[in-house]
Amino acid sequence: MRVKVHLGNKDKEGGQLKMQVRVLWLISFFTLIEGWEGFPGRTEGIKTKRGLILNKKKHPGPVREYELLLQVSYRDSKEKRDLKNFLKLLKPPSLWLHAPVKIIRAKATTHCGNQNGSLQCACEDGYTWFPPSCLDLQKCYLHTAGALQSCHCHVNNLSQSTNFCERTKVWGTFKINERFTKDLLNSSSPSYSKYATGIEIQLKEAFKRIQDFESVRVTQFRPYRDGRIFAGFEVVSSSSTSELLSAIKQVAKKVKEGLHKLFPLEDSSFRVFAKAQCNSIVFGFGSRNDEFTLPCSSGYTGNITVRCQPSGWQVLREMCVHSQLEELKKNLSVMAGHATETAVSSLVRNLSVVIRQNPSTTAGNLASVVSILDSVLSLSLASHFKVSNSTMEDVISIADHILSSASVTNWTVLLQEEQQASSRFLKTLENISSLVPPTALPLNFSREFIDWKGIPVSASQLKMGYNYQTELFPTNASIPVKGHVLIGSDQFRWSLPETIISMASLTLGNILSTTQNGNAQVNGPMISTVIQNYSINEIFLTFSKIESNLSQPHCVFWDFSRLQWNNAGCHLVNETADTVMCRCTHLTSFSILMSPFVPPAIIPVVKWITFVGLGISIGSLTLCLIIEALFWKQVKKNQTSYTRHVCMVNVALCLLIADVWFIVAATEGSTVNLSGVCIAAVFFMHFFYLSLFFWMLMLGILLAYRILLVFHHMAMPLMMAVGFCLGYGCPLIISVITIAVTQPSNAYKRKDACWLNWSDRSKPLLAFAVPALTIVAVNLAVVLVVLTKLWRPTVGERPGQENKATIVRMGKSLLILTPLLGLTWGFGIGTIVDNQNLAWHVIFALLNAFQGFFILCFGMLLDSKLRQLLFNKLSPFSSWKQASKQDSSDVSAKPKFTKPFNPLQNKGNMLREEKFITKEDQPKWVWQDLILLGRNQR
C-alpha cells in the first residue's frame, strides 16, 4: 500500500517559508516498513500537512511496507544538495508509529518550480518521465522539446499526484478467465479494489526477491475482445530495464502460482515488456493486436472498440452518442404523427444548441445528427412544411460544426460502419435547402467550413445569367480557395425557376471521397448548385487548386446512386497553374479529382496509340478470319494443319471479342455509367484474353505432340474436344472463381477504370497475369524442344515432308507470337508496379494496341502456303497458272507407277502417309492404291 505524507519547511511562526526569490519544490520518496497486524484499506487513513494518522491495532502483525511522499522547498542548488544529504541520513521518529520502523529506501526524483501561476516539473539526473502522463492525469500534460521533458500542471500542490519520475519502469499484462463487469473501469469501486489489492500483494511477494525492486501497481482492467478481464500493471525498479525484465521472467512461475490462488488465470497470457506499444490516458496500454471494447465516457451512450497497431490505438468502431442527442431523437419520433412547422423549427434550434454546447464530434454524434436532419426532411416533405430563414441558418450552423476539419477522422470511422452517411448528409442538405421559399430569400450564410447562398430568380437572370463566388480558407492557410459558378443567360430562355441555391465546402468533398475515389483525391472545393424542377444544359465551374503539385484534373460530380465521383457530362475546359475550369451539362455536386499516379505528359500520346492501334488490330483480326474462311478447304490438308488453323482462328476470334469489350469498357468510363456494364466488360475481357493465351498453349501442345510422338495417333474429335476444353474451359473456370471471390467485397475491378483490380487490399489481376505469363514460359520451352528435335532427330522419328512443313510453320508462329504476347502483359504489370516510368506506359500501349496486327503478320502471312494461296486468289492470271501447274503435275506423276509396285517397299513411310491423306485432297487413284495396300497387309 502507498501512503503520501506532505511535509514542508516552516518558519518560526509556523507558516510556509516565504522568500523573495523563486521557490522550488523537491519531491522525495522514502519507503519504510513496520510490524503491524493489519493495514489501512486503499482509501483509508487521513492525510494532513502535519503527519499521517493510522488506525490503531492492539496486537503486532506481519511486516507492512509504506511509501511516503515528501514535498520540500529550497532556494538554491546548495540547499538542494543539503536536502538530498539529509534524506540519506534520515531516521524515522519513534513517536510516529507504535511499532518498530525502518527506512529501506529514500530517493529524490522530481523538482518543480512556479512559473506564471502553474507548476513546471522536471526529473532529477538518472530519472525520466514515462508517457503518456506525468504527475496528475487530469491537470498535467507532458511536454517534450528535443531530449528535455517537462511536466506542466495547473495546480498549486501535488497532493493527488501518482506519476512521478522513475529510474526504470516496465509494463505487464495477463488475462483473467472471468467475465468483465463495468465497475472494473472505476478505480474507486469495491470490485476494482478487491482485484487490485489481491494482485498487488501476490506480485510484491514474488518480486521482492528481485534486486533493486521498488514497487508494483495495478493500473487498469479492460474488457478483452472475448469478454474476459484484461489486467495491466507497472513495475518500478532502480536497476536497468534489461535486468528487471530478466529477473521478472525468472520469477514468472511464482507469479502465476500466486495469481492462481486468487482467480483462474490464463498462464500463456502473462507478459512483461519494456515499452508499451500503445499507451494512452483514455484507452490504457497494450501490445500489438490487443483489442478492447469500452463503454463511452460519462454523458454518452454506446461503445468504442480499439485495436493496438504499430502507430498506436486505432478506433475500429465508435458509436458514442451524447445523451441529449438521444433525447432529441426520441422527441422527434414522438412528434412524427402530429408535427407542426413551429415544432420542427424548434427541434432544429435545440439540435443546434446541443451541438454548440457539446463540441465533441464523435462518430456516433455524426450519425445521430445525419439521422435527425434526415427525419426532419422527411417530416417536412410529408407535411409540406417550408423552411424559414432562421431554421436554415440553424441547419448551416449544424453543418459547419460536423464538417470541421477536426471531424474528418470521425467521419472516416463512421463510413466504415455506414458507407452512405456522408452521401446521405449531402442529399439531405440539398433537399432542405430547396424547401426555403422564395419569399425568405436572398440569404447568405458564410461559415468557416461551409458557404451557403440562396436567391429568388428574377428577370435579371434572363439578361445576366447566374453567378456564385465563394472563398474558403483551408486549416492553417492564409490564401483562400476560391470557387465560381456561372450559368449563362441563354439557359433561362423559357420559364424561370423559383430559386437557385449554391453551397461550397472544403471538407465535404474529402469525406465523400473516402467511400470510393480510386487513385485520385479531391483537390478543390465541393460546389453544389440546386435548381428545383428545372433543366440546365450548360454550367461552367472554376475551382482553385488546393495542392498545385497534383496533375491530370478530372471534372466530376457526386453520383448518389453509385456513391462515387462520376465524370459523365463534365469536361475540362481550361487549366492554369492555380485553377481549373469545367463545363458540365447538368446540376449536382461538383469537384475536381486529380490523380497523382499517371504521368500527364504522356496521356495524349498513349490515347492516340491506343485508339489507332486498336482500330488497326480489329481490322487485322477481321482480315484473319476472312482469309481463313476463303482458304479453309485448302489449308486443312492433314490433321496437323487442320488443328493448327483451328487454333489460329480461335486466337484471332478471342482477341477480336476482347478488343470489342475493351471499347465497351472505355466508352463506359466516358458516358453515363450503367449498372453492371463495367463489371461485365471486366469479366469478358478477362475471359477472352485468357482464352487467347490458352489457345496459344494448345498450339504449343500440338507442336510438341507432333514432334515428340510421331507414331502416336489421336482421333480428330478427341483432339478438338481437348482443344476446346483447354481453350475455353480453363479460362472460364479461372474467370468465374475470380469474380465470385472478389466481387462480394467490391474488390473485383479497379475503382478508376474497367479492369481487374490491383491494390493493397486485393489483386485479382494476378488471376490473369500468372496464367498468361506461365503459358508464355511453357510455349518458349516447347519451341526450344521442337527446334532441338528438328535439328537432330532420332532414328525413326523423322516426320513426313508435308507434316514437317506444317510443324515448321507452327513453330515460327509460336516463336514470334509467344514472346510478343508475353511482353505485352509483362509491360502491363510494369505500369502498375512502377507507374511513374514513362517507358512502361508507352511500350505497353504500343504492344497491346497492335496485338491483332501481330497475329495477322506472324500467325497468318508468315505461312508461305497461305501467302501463295492469297497471291493466286488476288492475281488476274491465277486460273491459268493453276491449270498449267495441274497439267504438269499429272504428266510428271504417271511415270512413277510404270515400274512394278512392291507393297513391302517403304512400308513404314507409306503407312505413315496414309494417316494424313484424305479422299477429298488427293486424286482418286492415289486413294485406291492406299486402300489396296492396307488390304494386302491385312
* CA gap 902, 895 in Å, rounded: 15
Cell reading at 323? 445523451
Contacts of 382 (CB under 8 A, 6+ apart): none
| Whole-number pLDDT of residue 63 | 63
Instruction: Please report the pLDDT score of residue 231 as a whole number.
Output: 95
Question: What pTM, to 2 d.p., does this model score?
Answer: 0.56
Cβ-contact 383, 339 below 8 angstroms: yes
- pLDDT, residue 740, reads 92
Residue 817 near residue 852, CB atoms below 8 Å: no
pLDDT score of 10: 31
Burial class (CB in 10 A: 0-12, 13-18, 19+), 163: buried
Distance, CA of 131 to CA of 281 (rounded, Å)? 9
Among the listed residues 258, 182, 267, 187, the one whose alpha carbon sits nearest the alpha carbon of residue 220 = 187
Q: Supply the DSSP symbol for 157.
A: -
The amino acid occupying position 553 is P
**Which of 322, 316, 328 has the alpha carbon at shortest distance from 301?**
322
Which residues lie closer than 8 Å to 851 by C-beta, 6 or more apart?
617, 655, 820, 821, 824
CA 737 to chain centre: 23
Q: For the chain (length 938 residues), average pLDDT per consecutive 10?
A: 31 29 50 43 32 40 67 78 75 60 77 79 83 75 74 72 82 94 91 94 91 90 89 91 92 93 92 88 87 88 91 90 92 85 94 88 93 93 92 96 91 89 94 94 94 91 87 86 91 82 91 62 90 85 88 86 83 89 77 48 68 84 86 69 82 89 69 64 91 86 71 75 91 94 83 71 84 83 72 52 54 54 61 62 73 76 72 59 45 40 38 34 32 32
Place of cell 500466486: 258
Radius of gyration, alpha carbons of the chain: 42
**Distant-in-sequence, close-in-space partners of 5: CB < 8 Å, separation ≥ 6:** 47, 51, 52, 68, 69, 70
Residues 6+ apart with CB under 8 A from 7: 49, 70, 71, 72
**d(Cα 781, Cα 815) in Å, to the nearest integer?**
10
Residues 692 and 772: their CA atoms lie apart, in Å, by 9
Name the DSSP class of 302: S
The amino acid at 287: S
The three cell numbers of residue 691 are: 482464352
Of 286, 293, 289, the C-alpha closest to 317 is 293
Distance, in Å, from the CA atom of 424 to the CA atom of 434, rounded to the nearest integer, reads 15
Backbone angles phi, psi at 416, to 5 degrees: -70, -30
Whole-angstrom Cα distance, residue 329 to residue 292?
Answer: 28
Which letter does DSSP use for residue 436 in this model? Answer: S
Q: Which stretch of DSSP H or E encloses residue 227?
A: none
Instruction: Output the pLDDT for position 815.
Output: 56
Q: Is 568 helix (H, G, I), strand (E, B) or coil?
A: coil
The answer to whether 137 and 281 have CB atoms below 8 angstroms apart is yes
Q: Report how far Cα 162 is from the mean position of its chain's Cα atoms.
A: 41
For residue 635, what is the enclosing H or E element? helix 632-635
Q: Which residues contact 645 (CB under 8 A, 6 or more apart)?
A: 628, 632, 635, 636
